[in-house]
Amino acid sequence: MWTKFPLSVEICHGVAKEFATPVWLYDANTIVDRLKLCQVFDTVRYAIKANSNLAVLSLLKEHGAVVDAVSAGEIQRALMAGFVGTSEVPGVVYTADVFDDEALALIKKYSIPVNVGSPDMISQLGEAGIKVPLTIRINPGFGHGHSRKTNTGGDLSKHGVWHEQLSQCVQKAKELDIPITGLHIHIGSGADLEHLALVCDAMLECSKVLGSDLRYISAGGGLSIPYRKNEEDAVDVGEYFKLWDETRQKIEKQVGHKIRLELEPGRFIVAESGFLIAQIRAVKKMGENLFYLIDAGFTDLVRPAFYGAWHEISVIARDGRPLDEVAPVIVAGPLCESGDVFTQEEGGFVVTRNLPLAQVGDYVVIHDAGAYGATMSSNYNSRFYAAEVMWKENAAKLIRKRQSFEHLIANELLQMRRY
């Protein structure tokens, strides 16, 4: 059941040669497989920000997902991918703690339901004369997360409506005649089911404030994936569902009608489908330390530099020769920035990884890079966004071209001509 795409030497060589490195490769089957695991929930609302490529969105739409958008750009991607939905299950929901004018205009134009993350958003909808169905994202007063930067609850988190202010929000929406139909908690318990039980209790408590107006609850996202395959367990979606389903049934008893149960995963659906394929451009020694300098940097995959995130790394010889001998290596990128290292721990501590001894021209593959990889890339150092490729029906399909210099500077060029 727990399929993982076995990236072969042939596929790696083929993709690297055809599309140049660095390049993202996503396996379509893995994405669909993970979506299906989640579909024990009534609705799977994919969080676009994890991987927003239109081909990924289309694939998920084809297999029955709807989406969560967090910006005007993501709303437009969702519309372009054709997420329509029904009045029961909207194709796109906007979740954020603030609006900007562009998002507000799109929400008005396309009547997009909003998952509200601050009381001010309700007032602003009122001022703009927008009456879309709302859900409230609750901060239950506690959080969970794999690093300080991913903790999404508690009094140091900026996300959601503080649980004690829920009834105030309900009152405000009533005055404006805006319906509140759902509740949402995105904490990210990962595989921690004990913690999840606390989240479910918080949802049950909050549901009492809404009473019979409540139509659906969302369990949010935050399902982890086993980045360290030998040490971490995959989250048991069945168990995850069971806890939420019990909560749903309790709420149904309270309100006297059916409650729809949504899941809002991002990482879980796309992370394991993705590989970042890069090429070794220099092998050098710094004192006793051996460095592989590759042509991908934190401008491509920022997670190690940003969170100290651990990704599996493998080496594939460019000429197919066997790679037997292993040594501790530091894997770093091309940027003029000392933090541009893939083997580092939280806090920026550079560490070594045991990898095969390799040469310039061999490939370094960074695994589980399908989520928060390409979407978090930047143009720092005027580096171009890498190409994205999808492996589907036994063939590599280009789903985003590598960015060109012309594209990179297009908006500046217009300004320059004015001088």
Q: Which residues are catalytic?
A: 336
Report the nearest approach of ligand PLP to the CB of residue 87 (Å): 21
Q: Which amino acid is at 52?
A: S
Residues of span 24-83 touching ligand PLP by CB under 6 A: 47, 49-50, 68, 70
Q: Spell out the long-range contacts of 69-75 with Cβ–Cβ below 8 A and sequence spacing 24 or more.
A: 69/93, 69/94, 69/95, 69/112, 70/94, 70/95, 70/96, 71/96, 71/100, 71/103, 72/100, 72/102, 72/103, 72/105, 72/106, 74/48, 74/49, 75/103, 75/106, 75/107, 75/110, 75/112
Q: Would you count residue 266 as binding ligand PLP (CB under 6 A)?
A: yes
DSSP-derived secondary structure letter, 402: P
Question: Which residue lies nearer to ligand PLP by CB, 49 or 61?
Answer: 49
Question: Which residue lies nearer to ligand PLP by CB, 133 or 188?
Answer: 188
- Joined together, the tokens standing for residue 138 give 């609750």
Q: Would you count residue 264 as binding ligand PLP (CB under 6 A)?
A: yes
Q: Which of 22, 90, 153, 220 touches ligand PLP (CB under 6 A)? A: 220
Report the nearest approach of ligand PLP to the CB of residue 399 (Å): 20
Residues of span 164-193 touching ligand PLP by CB under 6 A: 186, 188
Q: Which of 95, 118, 139, 343 touches ligand PLP (CB under 6 A)? A: 95
Report the nearest approach of ligand PLP to the CB of residue 53 (Å): 15
Q: Would you count residue 265 as binding ligand PLP (CB under 6 A)?
A: yes
Report the nearest approach of ligand PLP to the CB of residue 322 (Å): 38
Question: Which residue lies nearer to ligand PLP by CB, 147 or 171?
Answer: 147
Q: Do 251 and 209 form a contact (C-beta atoms < 8 A)?
A: no
Q: Would you count residue 368 as binding ligand PLP (CB under 6 A)?
A: no
Residues near ligand PLP, by CB under 6 A: 47, 49-50, 68, 70, 95, 186, 188, 220-223, 264-268, 371
